[in-house]
Amino acid sequence: MSENNIPSKDTLGRRSFIKRLGMAGAAAMPVGALLTSQTSARADFRSFNGRLSAGDAAILRFLAVAELLEADLWQQYNELALGNESYQLALNILDGDEATYVNLNTRDEISHANFINGYLQSKGFQAVSLEPFRNLPSSQATGSNKSAKRLTNLMNLTVDTSWYNRYRSALNPDFGAQFPQLVNLVNVPGIPNSDLPSPFDSSGNLDPNGFEIQFIGNVAGFHFATVEEGGSSLYQSMLPKANSPEVIQIIGAIGGTEIQHFQTWQDKAGNALRVVNPNNNQELFPQLPLAPALPNPPDGTDNAAPNDTNQIFPMPCEFIAKGLPPCSVIRPISTKLAGAVATIAFFSDMGLFIGQNDAFFKFVMELAEEADDAGRES
């Protein structure tokens, strides 16, 4: 989508401002309320066979942590995607259904957290709660639940965009490959903290005065994919550690949803517009696609044009052993790079936990270490 081929605000039709259609509803309910209402009911113990091993319980407890954190950040995005017209229009420039997908992604993450906690309770384990650590402030922009306390910070993000090149390469980080950032997004907001001008003027054309909200929308679009590619790798790293067939089913099925999320978001991120500050002509976000950034791997395999923004399937890469044929897979999946401890480090480096206290880090790291230590019993 070029700058000269943006649908006007009038032509966006049903996609222009979802809240008018009454879709906010349950999605706009605070995450804490949804989790409380849905995890309080205990499942029928007769529906499940056997007891959880200590390792399986550790894996599920950490996955519950990850899902609670994701539910929290996606709820913040959801409130503004449904309730702030300027922000929604900026997101919908990436795709006409972008705000709808935010709503659905939020629903999915809440369901994951609810299910994992409910399953733990059905096996006699205590549900995981992060409510004592809900102390970060909300956005003060229209649409946000301004008084709600959050677990995650979306105001000062450092977004890892290396996934863009990683999934277009025949190399694999599990074998030591490293990938450059596509766009450098350091200490930038993924949501507005106040109301900002629309990216469109009254005639439905792009308005230079809307550069701030469009830049934030671009950041969010890339952050969506960053979060979900991390979730995809996390679930794949936990899969070989599980013992119970039911737990293997849970990890595989929920992990598959995370992969669906990532594939959707990496496709939409490629539509981000170039953003320039009209006050000083500073380029805040480059025009995509960029020139290819990766050399071809030693075996001569083509890198599938890193500058192709429509490349949404992972390039076949090294997998299991270097001597085997390249295979299209999720990467990384090693415990070192994609396990529970690595996930907390990844989220922390992203800036999601700016403002959190030492007790929070102690709690989540203990659960992360237990999950990484889990292993399949002989």
Residue with tokens 């649409």: 143
Q: Which residues of the chain have pLDDT under 70?
A: 1-49, 290-308, 378
Residue 312 lies in a domain: yes
Do residues 128 and 64 touch, judged by C-beta distance below 8 A?
yes
**Beta-carbon-side half-sphere exposure of residue 253 (alpha carbons within 13 Å):** 11
Rounded to whole angstroms, the Cα distance separating 111 from 39 reads: 10
What are the two backbone dihedrals, phi and then psi, of residue 186, each rounded to the nearest 5 degrees?
Answer: -120, 125
Asked, for residue 6, whether it belongs to a domain, the answer is: no
As a whole number of angstroms, the distance between CA 165 and CA 181 comes to 8
Q: What is the pLDDT of residue 196?
A: 97
**Domain span at residue 246?**
14-42+49-373
Alpha-carbon distance of 152 to 70, in angstroms, equals 9
- Residue-wise over 193-203: b if at least 16 C-beta within 10 A, else e? eeebebbbeee
pLDDT in tens, 60-89: 999 999 999 999 999 999 999 999 999 999
- Tokens found for residue 144: 């946000």
Q: Does any domain span residue 7?
A: no
Place of tokens 């906010």: 24
Let me know if residue 334 belongs to a domain.
yes
Per-residue pLDDT at 306: 55
Rounded to the nearest 5°, which phi and psi values hold at 300? 85, 0
The string of DSSP letters for 92-147 reads HHH-TTHHHHHHHHHHHHHHHHHHHHHHHHHTTPPPP--GGG--BPPP-STTS-TT
Structure confidence at residue 354 (pLDDT): 98
Q: What is the pTM of this model?
A: 0.87
pLDDT at residue 289, as a whole number: 78
pLDDT, one tens digit per residue, over 160-214 is 999 998 998 889 999 999 999 999 999 999 999 999 999 999 888 999 999 999 9
Give domain status of residue 4, yes or no. Answer: no
- Could you tell me the two tokens for 198? 């629309």
pLDDT at 219: 98
Residue 329 covered by a domain: yes
The total number of structural domains in the chain stands at 1
